[in-house]
Structure 1
């Protein structure tokens, strides 16, 4: 059985930890509100822009002029993995890394055996994970979340798009956490490039949009498609950012509850140990008094 001093020290230590986790929960809740507002505003814009992008890509594919929709034999693959810069957010980061490993093993096993898979890790945790395992990485985007904005994410999107346009990569996939609510984050694995065409049945059931191009179709598409692709990456990063704060808030709330339960157990142990010590001292005093009386 632990001594009273050891139990007291553990109570103080757990109490301090509980205060830290409670403060981290409050900080995560404040950041979550801002990041949640950002992603809720971004989703309708990104979805509408993505629909326009798909329609324009279908139109331009008829002329063979859209380099971002060109389908090739998949020999070289880039996987964009969006994680966080910090831990203490439950299984948030490990779920992304598991999803990347599953994607490689199930879909790109041949390319992995040939060493033709590279990782673009957005977030420090992902970068550290893949570099420690000697996986080829592209770029260094470990400070994106320190000053999250479209400008900071655009560089990563442009590097990925340049790699596809020049033929360095034949396919690019996005792996990230999609924000649903504070307690739920869903892993998403999406094809970023080449741009996917809509299924024929979906096109048939959808009302066709009649676009008027001004000044010209080529000039509009040349500006719109790259911008839409960058918005897709930015949206994935915003989803991941909101998911991170939600996961950290949930993890710190659970840690605070666990600390409270542990404190109850430690205080109970402390009281029992103290009572046992007092009882032992009383028995020793009574035994000494009886021995003294018997000797007289």
Structure 2
């Protein structure tokens, strides 16, 4: 049985840990509110932009081709893995690693075997993980969440877009956590490049062709709107991941605080039992000593 001093030391240690996890939960909750507001404002904008782009491309048919729509044999692949800079967020980061590994084992198994898979890591945890796996890395975005903005994400998007235009990559896929609620994050693997043609719903009814008036020219609209849409898609994925991170950390710290409370109850019970046993032993020793002294007289 542990001594009273050891149990008391463990109680103090667990209490300190509980205070830290409780504080981290409160910080994560405050950051989550801001991150959730950002993604809720971004989603309608991104959806509307994609809708405009779909309408534009469908109206032009094959009149204007985009360099981001080029369909090539998939030999070289870029995976954009979005994690966090810090840990203590439960399975938030490990789920991304599992998602990427699943892609490498199934969809991109041939490219992985040939060593033609490159990773663009957004977040320190992703960078460290894939460097250990000795995968080729594109760029360095390990501290992008320190000053998260569209401009910082735009640089990463432009690197991926430039690689696709130059033929360095034949396909670009994003892997990130989509924010659903505080306790739930869904791992998504979405193709960023080449652009996937919009499909009409199966229930859609034939309609008359709409004669659009383009201002400025179709070519200029395509050259401006498509790159902007791609950057917005990546920025939205990063915002989703940011909100998911704070939700996962808040949940993990809440659970850690509860576990610390349960451990404290167990340790205090052990402490009281050990103390009671020590007092009983002392009483028995005193009584035994008194009886021995009386018997010696």
Tell me if both proteins adopt one fold, taking TM over 0.5 as the criterion: yes
SS in 1 for 2:106: helix
Alpha-carbon offset, residue 200 of structure 1: 4.7
CA–CA separation in structure 1 for the residues paired with 2:200 and 2:218: 23
Deviation of residue 51 (structure 1)? 1.9
Distance (whole Å) between structure 1 residues aligned to residue 214 and residue 203 of structure 2: 21
Aligned to 2:65: 65
CA displacement, residues 158-178 of structure 1 (integer Å, 9 cap, x when unaligned): 000011111110000010000
Question: How does the TM-score come out when normalised to structure 2?
Answer: 0.96
Per-residue Cα deviation, 1:57-86 (whole angstroms, up to 9, x for no partner) = 445561362111111110000000000000
Contact (CA 8 Å) 1:11, 1:266: kept in 2 or not? yes
**8 Å contact from structure 1 (residues 77, 116) kept in 2:** yes
Provide the rounded CA distance (Å) in 2 between the counterparts of 1:265 and 1:217. Answer: 71
CA contact (8 A) 1:179 1:240 kept: yes
Q: Give 5+ residue unaligned stretches, structure 2.
A: none
Relative to structure 1, the CA distance from residue 210 to residue 289 in structure 2 (aligned partners, 3 Å threshold; closer, same or farther) is farther
SS class of match (1:100): helix
Matched, 1:247 2:248: yes
For 1:128, the equivalent position in structure 2 comes to: 128
Q: CA deviation at 1:203?
A: 8.9
Unaligned runs of 5+ in 1: none
Aligned equivalents of 1:284 and 1:274: distance in 2? 15
DSSP 3-state at the match of 1:2: coil
Distance in 2 (alpha carbons) for counterparts of 1:200 and 1:119: 33
Superposition pairs for residues 36-185 of structure 1, below 5 Å? 36-59=36-59, 62-63=62-63, 65-185=65-185
Alpha-carbon RMSD across the aligned residues, in angstroms, is 1.5
Q: Secondary structure at the match of 1:107?
A: coil
Count the aligned residue pairs: 296
Contact 1:61–1:69 (Cα < 8 Å) also in 2: no
